[in-house]
Each structure stands twice: as structure tokens, then as C-alpha cells.
């Protein structure tokens, strides 16, 4: 027997109906539509799919499926959109950009969704988006997006401040048992059981005019954001994890905006403190050149050559070009800037030299980290949290080092917040020798059992 399925928009439940109730279900569905006259009469199969013995279930088409995007390519249309956004507490956001061969990504499209519609903003046709970004990042507005890092950067650069409230659906899904990190396509499929077409990730978004398939792809990137938000937050409320999600998303924004010079590139752990100072100045020189030329930093000078120059600390052009892999074409007559960076570092007073963070860990750090990793992954399965969000190897190493160093009063972040609620008792009990772990039911998502050592 074939069963007709209906997915409620706001809940998790799925109610099956026999085929004899098709007409009744269809009438109920039409009553939920906000503008019924705009939806032509079509066959029942347009709105419902069937569940066979194989168990395949598809969603009811939602009102957002019928919305055609509005293309915003002049100042008048942008102002109308801004006026609309001022009234919206929650806005879906996505961007299309090109990052290859550039220091900073080139913004090509901005997609917006609200309960009333979808807009595609063309920044190549509009002189300034500053007011748009300011309104979007207002403190009374929540931005809903997927993999929010680049959207946060665009908003912060355009408005001059970070967006106040961001909900990254990737993070929310990872904290609610859906997996992490899921692509937009997989998020829509897993959360709403709806299929969207991909395939435009490598398109040339700067080329105009945009093809219909490109515009459809761009619109679909925001079409389901608010529906997914509603369902995820509904699930989060039932699981008591709304604050977990908000805290993780706030931490993401802080991490994106943290203006750190990430000059400790791979291989820097082998350098002395003086050589690290040289590396730092070389990194700053490379960053200035890359920013000015709008080139990726590694196109100016690779990380491996930065390390080698820092190690040798050349003080003349002859010494510099004695390093294998360097030639004058690479520097484009900027070799004097490299030597000046080296000299600046060599003149840095000893107290101002960067610390050497290379660690000579005792062997038990590696052993205990591996054991804690197994325990952490088991607890992640128990709590329906993706292991990648629960704890990284670096997090667990920091925890073990802190535990072994009795004079270190800086409590690891892993023991704070929601992670601390889950991990503190079992992991510290494990390290104290007061708890043990054994294999319980191998058919459970978490087959590990933590118990008092006295019960072992």
C-alpha cells in the first residue's frame, strides 16, 4: 500500500494519511497558503510525494518554493530593499564571491531572504552598499546563514562593525545531531528533506549578464534558510541547546574579527626567539605587499621560504639570493624591503622577542590525548553532538598539559560552557584515576560506559 505523507512546517512530526484522504489533505494544504490565488490548481502529486515500502519520503512544497527572486541592480531598488529590511528581525544572507588569485575575495552577489521574498543584490552595478550593510548588522536583527565566516567579514568591512547576531546553521546542525560541517545542499536535504540543485560553485560570478541557472542557484542558497532556522531552533528548544548554539555562533564572530597576525606558519616551532622575530617582520612585509598588489600572500613569498630566510637572517642582497629558490624576478625589486625587515627584527630588544612555543611534551601527553579523544568522541555520540565541535586534538592536548602542570591556574576553555558540562566530570575523573571506561552495548551510538573505578 502506498501512503501519502504530509510534513508540518513548524514541527518534527510526520503524519501519514491513506490515499483516500488525498482530497482532504490537499484542501488543508491550500488553506495554509498565504496568497492562495497565486497558486494555480495542479495535481495532488505537485505538492505531495509518496512513501513506498523502501521508505522514501519527500516534503510538501513550501510557499518559499514559489517565490521568484527580485534582482536589485540600481540605487532605487536597493533603497526599497533597505526600507524593507529595517522592519525584519530575522534575515537570511548568502554571498557569491571570487577568491582565487586575490588577497581579499571579490564580492559578486548578495542574496537576501525574508518571510516576504528573496532578493539578489548586484554589487557590481551599485556604487555603495554601506547603508545596506549597516542595516543588516543592526543590533536588533539576526542574520541567518551557512558557514558564516565570509559573510561576517563582508558585513564588518561594509558596515564598519560586526553583525550583532549571527545564526550559522552549520553550527546549529552540528550541535543537534545532524552532522558537521554539512554543505548547504545537505543541510536542506537532511533538515527539510528537500532537494536543491548545486553545481555552480565554480561559476564565474563576475561575468554579466548572469544566466538563469546562476540566478536560480543564487536564490536557492537563501530560499530555505528561514525554514531551516525555524526547525533547528524548535529542536534546540526541546533539547535545551538554544544557548549552546548562540554561544558557539558568537564565538565564531569573535574568531573571525580577532585581528591576529597569524605569522607562526608551519615550521616556525624550530626557530629561535630571534629567528621568530625575523619571521614576524617578514610576514608583515609579505602581508603589506600582498594587500597592496591584491595577490594571495603565498604568491608573494611561500611560507617555506619565509622560514628559510628567517633561519638564515641575511644581511646583504648577496646573502639573500644565496638561498635556493629565490631570484630577483620573485621579489620584483622589493628585496630591500626584505633586508629592512630582517634588520628591524635583529634590532628588537630581547624582552620584546616573541616566545618560542615549541613544546617538548613528555610521552604521556600523546598517550593520554589519544585516550581522551576516544572518550570525547564517545560522549559526542551520546549527546548527539558532532565530534568536530566537541573537542579537537589541540583542545585535548591543552587539557592534558594543564592537568600535568600543577602550577598552571589557567583553566582550559574545553572545561567551560556546554563542553564543560559534558566533559569535565568524565575526563578529569579519568585523569584522576577515579573513573574508568569500558565497552558496554556495542550497538549503541556510544558503546563506552564511564563508571567509578570502585565498580570496575
Task: Please report how many Cα atoms fall inside a 13 Å half-sphere around the Cα of residue 52, on the Cβ side.
Answer: 1
357 lies in a domain?
no
231 lies in a domain?
yes
Q: Is the same domain home to 398 and 447?
A: yes
- Residue 399 has a CB neighbour count (10 Å cut-off) of 25
Q: From residue 456, how far is each of 373, 376, 377 by CA, in Å? A: 21, 20, 22
Please report, rounded to a whole number, the percentage of residues in the chain having pLDDT higher than 70.
Answer: 82
Strands 50-51 and 106-114: unpaired
Q: Is the same domain home to 227 and 92?
A: yes
Q: Which three cell numbers stand for residue 116?
A: 516576504
What is the tally of structural domains in the chain? 4
Beta pairing partners, 98: 106
The pLDDT, as a whole number, for residue 25 is 41
The pLDDT, as a whole number, for residue 269 is 86
Q: Is the same domain home to 129 and 10?
A: no
234 lies in a domain?
yes
Phi-psi region of 313 (alpha: psi -120 to 50; beta: other; left: phi over 0): left
326 vs 346: CA distance, rounded Å: 21
The pLDDT, as a whole number, for residue 453 is 77
**pLDDT at residue 411 tops 70:** yes
260 vs 254: CA distance, rounded Å: 11
Residue range 6-27: average pLDDT? 37
Domain that residue 122 falls in: 65-257
**pLDDT at residue 316 tops 50:** yes
Q: Is the same domain home to 235 and 166?
A: yes
CATH number at residue 323: 1.10.150.80
Q: Is the same domain home to 78 and 211?
A: yes
49 lies in a domain?
yes
pLDDT digits (tens, 9 = 90+) for 130-182: 999 999 999 889 999 999 999 999 999 999 999 999 999 999 999 999 999 99
Q: 49-58, 107-116, 135-144, 309-318: which has the minimum mean pLDDT? A: 49-58
Residue range 370-399: average pLDDT? 94
The pLDDT, as a whole number, for residue 168 is 98
Residue range 43-70: average pLDDT? 50
Beta pairing partners, 70: 119
310 vs 268: CA distance, rounded Å: 9
CB 120 within 8 A of CB 219: yes
Q: Is the same domain home to 30 and 88?
A: no
**pLDDT at residue 3 tops 50:** no
Q: Which three cell numbers stand for residue 333?
A: 625589486
The pLDDT, as a whole number, for residue 171 is 98
pLDDT digits (tens, 9 = 90+) for 271-299: 999 999 999 999 999 999 999 999 999 98
- In 3-state terms the chain splits into helix, strand, coil percentages (rounded to 5) of 50, 10, 40
CB 228 within 8 A of CB 188: yes
239 lies in a domain?
yes
302 lies in a domain?
yes
442 vs 76: CA distance, rounded Å: 63
User: pTM of the entire structure?
Assistant: 0.80
CB 111 within 8 A of CB 219: yes
CB 296 within 8 A of CB 334: no
pLDDT digits (tens, 9 = 90+) for 332-345: 678 889 999 999 99
- Helix/strand/coil (H, E, C) string of 185-209? HHHHHHHHCCCCCCCCCCCCCCCCC
290 vs 426: CA distance, rounded Å: 47
Q: Is the same domain home to 92 and 193?
A: yes
90 vs 123: CA distance, rounded Å: 22
Q: What pLDDT band is residue 106 in, cutting at 50, 70 and 90?
A: very high
Q: Which three cell numbers stand for residue 98?
A: 571570487
119 vs 94: CA distance, rounded Å: 11
Q: Is the same domain home to 316 and 344?
A: yes
Q: 348: helix, coil or strand? A: coil
Q: Which three cell numbers stand for residue 166?
A: 549571527
**pLDDT at residue 34 tops 80:** no
The pLDDT, as a whole number, for residue 454 is 67
Q: In what order do the strands lie in the sheet with 70-72?
A: 70-72, 117-121, 106-114, 90-98, 142-145, 165-168
Residue range 96-102: average pLDDT? 91
Please report, rounded to a whole number, the percentage of residues in the chain having pLDDT higher than 90.
Answer: 66
17 vs 260: CA distance, rounded Å: 57
Q: Is the same domain home to 381 and 419?
A: yes
Q: What pLDDT band is residue 200 in, cutting at 50, 70 and 90?
A: low
The pLDDT, as a whole number, for residue 447 is 87
Which is more confidently placed, 27 or 90? 90
Amino acid at each position: 500500500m502506498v501512503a501519502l505523507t504530509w510534513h508540518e512546517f513548524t514541527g518534527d512530526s510526520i503524519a501519514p494519511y491513506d490515499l483516500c484522504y488525498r482530497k482532504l489533505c490537499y484542501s488543508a494544504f491550500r488553506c495554509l497558503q498565504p496568497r492562495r490565488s497565486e497558486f494555480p490548481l495542479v495535481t495532488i502529486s505537485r505538492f505531495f510525494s509518496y512513501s513506498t515500502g523502501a521508505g522514501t519520503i519527500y516534503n510538501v512544497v513550501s510557499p518559499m518554493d514559489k517565490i521568484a527572486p527580485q534582482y536589485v541592480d540600481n540605487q532605487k531598488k536597493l533603497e526599497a530593499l533597505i526600507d524593507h529590511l529595517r522592519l525584519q528581525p530575522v534575515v537570511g544572507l548568502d554571498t557569491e564571491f571570487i577568491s582565487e588569485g586575490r588577497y581579499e575575495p571579490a564580492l559578486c552577489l548578495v542574496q537576501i531572504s525574508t518571510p516576504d521574498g528573496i532578493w539578489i543584490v548586484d554589487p557590481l552595478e551599485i556604487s555603495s552598499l554601506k547603508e545596506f550593510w549597516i542595516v543588516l548588522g543592526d543590533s536588533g536583527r539576526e542574520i541567518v546563514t551557512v558557514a558564516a565566516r565570509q559573510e561576517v567579514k563582508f558585513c564588518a568591512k561594509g558596515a564598519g562593525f560586526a553583525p550583532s547576531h549571527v545564526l550559522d546553521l552549520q553550527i546549529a546542525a552540528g550541535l543537534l545531531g545532524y552532522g558537521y560541517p554539512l554543505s548547504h545542499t545537505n543541510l536542506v536535504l537532511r533538515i527539510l528533506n528537500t532537494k536543491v540543485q548545486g553545481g555552480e560553485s565554480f561559476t564565474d560570478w563576475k561575468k554579466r549578464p548572469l544566466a538563469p541557472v546562476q540566478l536560480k542557484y543564487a536564490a536557492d542558497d537563501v530560499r530555505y534558510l528561514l525554514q531551516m532556522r525555524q526547525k533547528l531552533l524548535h529542536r534546540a528548544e526541546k533539547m535545551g541547546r538554544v544557548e549552546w548554539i548562540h554561544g558557539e555562533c558568537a564565538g565564531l564572530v569573535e574568531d573571525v574579527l580577532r585581528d591576529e597576525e597569524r605569522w607562526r606558519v608551519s615550521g616556525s616551532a624550530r626557530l629561535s626567539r630571534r629567528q621568530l622575530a625575523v619571521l614576524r617582520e617578514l610576514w608583515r612585509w609579505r602581508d603589506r605587499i600582498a594587500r597592496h598588489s591584491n595577490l594571495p600572500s603565498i604568491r608573494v613569498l611561500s611560507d617555506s621560504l619565509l622560514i628559510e630566510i628567517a633561519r638564515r637572517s641575511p644581511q646583504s642582497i648577496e646573502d639573500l639570493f644565496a638561498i635556493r629558490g629565490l631570484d630577483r624576478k620573485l621579489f620584483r625589486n622589493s628585496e630591500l624591503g626584505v633586508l629592512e625587515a630582517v634588520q628591524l627584527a635583529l634590532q628588537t630588544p630581547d624582552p620584546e622577542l616573541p616566545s618560542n612555543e615549541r613544546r617538548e611534551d613528555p610521552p604521556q601527553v600523546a598517550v593520554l590525548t589519544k585516550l581522551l579523544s576516544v572518550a570525547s568522541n564517545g560522549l559526542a555520540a551520546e549527546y548527539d553532538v558532532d565530534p568536530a565541535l566537541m573537542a579537537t586534538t589541540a583542545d585535548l592536548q591543552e587539557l592534558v598539559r594543564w592537568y600535568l602542570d600543577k602550577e598552571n591556574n589557567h583553566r582550559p576553555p574545553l572545561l567551560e560552557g556546554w563542553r564543560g558540562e559534558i566533559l569535565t566530570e568524565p575526563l578529569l575523573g579519568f585523569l584522576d584515576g577515579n573513573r574508568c571506561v569500558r565497552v558496554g552495548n556495542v550497538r549503541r551510538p556510544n558503546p563506552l560506559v564511564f563508571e567509578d573505578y570502585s565498580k570496575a
